[in-house]
Amino acid sequence: MMKTSVVFGTILVGSLIMFSTVSAESAFEEHVTQCVGKYANANDSANVMLECTAGGGKLSDCKVVENNQPNKGFDKAAVCVAASLPVGSKTGTIRVPVRFAGA
C-alpha cells in the first residue's frame, strides 16, 4: 500500500497531538490515503489552503481559497481530509493549510 504524506500547518499541530492511540493515527492515515486515492495522484505534491468553520471538535463548510495545483483533484482531497481532522475547542472561521508531499 502506498503511503501519502500530508502536513498540516501550525493551526492544527495541537489538535493532532490529541490522537492518543496508534489505532487513531492509523485510521487517520488510512483516511488521508483514501482521500488522495479517490481525488488526486499520490505521486504529485500540492499545497491547498482551506477556510472552514470549526465547532464541536470538527471542521465543516470547508472552501478552497488557494490551490497551487488546480484541476488535479487536490482541492477535493483536502476537503475530504479536513472532514476527519479534530480541532479541539477551536470555534469560528479558521484557515487550514494542507500540504500533500507526494511520493
pLDDT one-digit tens code per residue, 70-89: 999 999 999 999 998 888 89
Which residues, other chains included, contact 1 with Cβ-Cβ below 8 Å and sequence gap of 6+? 33
| Residue 89 amino acid letter | S
Predicted model pTM: 0.75
Could you tell me the pLDDT band of residue 10, with boundaries at 50, 70 and 90?
Answer: very low
pLDDT at 43: 93
> What average pLDDT does the structure give for the chain?
81
**Per-residue confidence (pLDDT) for residue 15, from 0 to 100:** 37
Give the 3-state secondary structure percentages of the chain, helix then strand then coil, rounded to 5: 35, 30, 35
CATH of 6-100, one of 3.40.630, 1.10.3470, 3.30.2420, 3.40.1000: 3.30.2420
Pseudo-torsion of CA 82, 87, 92, 98, nearest 10°? -40
| Sheet containing 6-8, strands listed edge to edge, beginning at the edge strand earlier in sequence | 6-8, 92-100, 46-55, 58-67
